[in-house]
Amino acid sequence: ENRDLMQGKIRRAQLQKIPYMLIIGAREESANAVAVRTRAGEDLGAMPVEAFLARALEEIRTRS
């Protein structure tokens, strides 16, 4: 049941064209990390919050 809820949330985010989905579970919380997926469904894996922020800011900077 819980898995279906998560899959549904991920699917809704993809349909809404949200560029990145950040999934934070117990493991990520304890490691101060986030699991990242792109809108295209690519799993970027877990990364420190700071690394994701740097990546997102760089992407914004290069698109402007």
Residue 22's Cβ-count burial label (10 Å; 0-12, 13-18, 19+) is: middle
Q: Domain of 10?
A: 2-63
Number of domains in the chain: 1
pLDDT in tens, 9-53: 888 888 898 899 999 999 999 999 999 999 888 999 999 999 999
Domain harbouring 31, CATH code? 3.40.50.800
CA torsion, points 9, 56, 44, 23, in degrees to nearest 10?
A: -30
Task: Put the strands of the sheet holding 43-48 in their side by side order.
Answer: 20-23, 33-38, 43-48
Residue 2: band (very low, low, confident or very high) from pLDDT cuts 50, 70, 90: low
Per the model's pLDDT, the better-predicted residue between 36 and 3 turns out to be 36
Query: Which pair of tokens denotes residue 47?
Result: 């990364």
